[in-house]
A and B are shown apart, each in its own frame.
Chain A
Amino acid sequence: MSVEQEQEERTIRCLVAKVGLDGHDRGAHVISRALRDAGFEVIYSGLHRSPDEVVQAAVQEDVDVVGISILSGAHNTLVPKILDGLKQYDAFDDRLILVGGIVPEDDQAELHERGVDEIFGPGASMDEMIAYIREHAPER
């Protein structure tokens, strides 16, 4: 009975990606777990991924949400590479692109312009993030 109910609601798939050199993924673990507990399917990339690897995972796993976590400050170089890669594989339009980490305000505007849907900084709450995903996950 509950199985059928679950199936009527589409399962949201999220990629939680750590890209670049920063060697910290406690935060990504916490987020992965919170998303899991919200009933999402989470694919965690592991540390030190290149933009190519993130694109490969996002395309092959056909995720609804690409969550990119960057603490190193390299977002201006790494995020656009990921966005371009997704476009190259026709996997940009129907995907929600989120960035998490420390992104100065000036950079935020530019990332939005390039196609990032939302940026969650250090103060963001998990509930807020989950609610945002539920509301904005693309219709397919």
Chain B
Amino acid sequence: MSDLVSDVLAGKHSALARVITNIENRAPGYREQVSALHRHAGDADVIGVTGSPGAGKSTLVDKVAAAYREQGLTVGVIAIDPSSPFTGGAVLGDRIRMASNAGDMDMFFRSMSARGSLGGLSTATTDAVTALDAFGKDKIIVETVGAGQNEVDIVRTADTVAVLVPPGSGDDVQMLKAGILEIADVFVVNKADLEGADRTVQQLKEMLQGRSGRPDTGHHGTITGADNEGGAVSTTEAVDWKPRIVETVANRGEGVEDFLEALGSHAEYLDRTGRREKQARERYAAEIRTLLREDANGLLSAELERRGGLESFLDEVVARETDPYSIVDELLAPLRDCLAEERDSHHG
């Protein structure tokens, strides 16, 4: 075991911070570090928080973290902000709003930037969660601006997902459009003291009628239309989670208790129904697939480079001497042979 990993397990803050840096940079050795930490992880509750910019995510997370700390629990927060597509630079400003936990080392807050990566960010986030988990954090909160698919992937690394919806965030059609709403286990109408909050709550309620729970991988067949049939709902209720709607005024700490209660009852639901384990399996399956794709892609890119780069094949394709399929076949042939050989030698 590397010194860094044993330092993390021994509760050394700078070692935890360095491992996360290695994960972000994909620095040499980071994979071995994450592998070693994985064995020590698995006890934390992971909560995803997303929503549009200015919805009040950081302020709410700050108050939630403070409440957990009061219960004697340790907390880790990962806050993800966008980076400039031009320079790669970023101002990571969520830390400013962590005032309730200032100076408290057992509240570990880490800012991450998107660094322009497509699939890589969700992998990095998952790995950072593993590090915090192995370090011994009881609650881990992943906070990200909800803007697109990338964010959906990231919050799905969480056991429970909360989506913040600011009052007056549009008409019913916006609610139908926004794909990010489908991932919520808990909706939070923050800034509930503002005008339009009641209407937003009402719209959310209407939207939730006609569907039940986070889109599932299909252990039940009646996601839509069930509640028209009265009885149908009650039969699926035992298995399905009905998203809660909570109203908060985070900067005054109002509604935070309700929010914690909703998170707690979702956690209880996950345990009671065996859903937690199922979700974990799904997550690891997705992670393994992502890593396989990335690594295979890396191998093949290197091979392509060795053969003179893509450019060198293009002339032949454009001149119609060969075609894309043949080139891919040719590039993959050694890999295919290699795997076949491996298979045979194991049987022989």
Q: Which residues of B contact A10 (CB under 8 A)?
A: 25
Rounded to whole angstroms, the CA-CA distance of A57 and B102 in the bound complex is 9
**Interface check B92, CB cutoff 8 A:** yes
**Interface check A139, CB cutoff 8 A:** no
Nearest-neighbour CB distance to chain A for B133, whole angstroms, equals 16
Question: Interface on chain A toward B: helix, strand, loop, or mixed SS?
Answer: mixed
**Interface check A44, CB cutoff 8 A:** yes
Complex A-B: 21 CB contacts under 8 Å: A6-B88, A13-B21, A36-B87, A37-B84, A41-B113, A42-B89, A42-B91, A43-B91, A43-B93, A44-B95, A56-B102, A56-B104, A57-B95, A59-B14, A59-B105, A60-B108, A60-B109, A62-B14, A62-B20, A89-B14, A91-B17
| Contact call B89/A46, Cβ cutoff below 8 A | no
| Contact call B14/A91, Cβ cutoff below 8 A | yes
- Residue of A13, A44, A62 most packed against chain B (CB within 10 A): A62
Known: A3-B117, A39-B88, A40-B89. A50 touches B103 (CB 8 A): yes
| Contact call A62/B17, Cβ cutoff below 8 A | yes
Interface 0/1 of B67-88, CB less than 8 Å to A: 0000000000000000110011
Shortest Cβ distance from A52 into B: residue: B103
| Contact call A89/B13, Cβ cutoff below 8 A | yes
Number of interface residues of A (CB under 8 A): 34
| Contact call A7/B26, Cβ cutoff below 8 A | yes
**Interface check B90, CB cutoff 8 A:** yes
| Contact call A59/B17, Cβ cutoff below 8 A | yes
The 9 closest A-B pairs by CB, nearest first: A46-B96, A62-B17, A52-B103, A36-B89, A39-B87, A62-B21, A53-B102, A39-B89, A90-B14
Q: Which residues of A contact B83 (CB under 8 A)?
A: 41
Shortest Cβ distance from B101 into A: residue: A56
| Contact call B103/A38, Cβ cutoff below 8 A | no
**Interface check B116, CB cutoff 8 A:** yes
Rounded to whole angstroms, the CA-CA distance of A138 and B89 in the bound complex is 18
Chain A positions near chain B (C-beta within 8 angstroms): 3, 6-7, 10-11, 13, 32-33, 35-46, 49-50, 52-53, 56-57, 59-62, 89-91, 140
Rounded to whole angstroms, the CA-CA distance of A49 and B83 in the bound complex is 25
Known: A3-B116, A41-B89. A11 touches B17 (CB 8 A): no
Shortest Cβ distance from A7 into B: residue: B26
Nearest-neighbour CB distance to chain A for B310, whole angstroms, equals 10
Rounded to whole angstroms, the CA-CA distance of A99 and B96 in the bound complex is 20
Rounded to whole angstroms, the CA-CA distance of A33 and B84 in the bound complex is 11
Rounded to whole angstroms, the CA-CA distance of A93 and B20 in the bound complex is 19
Q: 4 extra interchain contacts, Cβ-Cβ under 8 A, other than A41-B113, A50-B102, A60-B17?
A: A6-B88, A36-B84, A39-B89, A59-B13
Q: Which residues of B contact A41 (CB under 8 A)?
A: 83, 89-90, 92, 111, 113
**Interface check B18, CB cutoff 8 A:** yes
Known: A7-B26, A61-B111. A33 touches B95 (CB 8 A): no
Rounded to whole angstroms, the CA-CA distance of A13 and B83 in the bound complex is 13
Shortest Cβ distance from A16 into B: residue: B91
| Contact call B25/A11, Cβ cutoff below 8 A | yes
Rounded to whole angstroms, the CA-CA distance of A53 and B105 in the bound complex is 9
| Contact call A53/B103, Cβ cutoff below 8 A | yes
Nearest-neighbour CB distance to chain A for B302, whole angstroms, equals 12
**Interface check B12, CB cutoff 8 A:** yes
Q: Which residues of A contact B25 (CB under 8 A)?
A: 7, 10-11
**Interface check B283, CB cutoff 8 A:** no
Rounded to whole angstroms, the CA-CA distance of A53 and B92 in the bound complex is 16
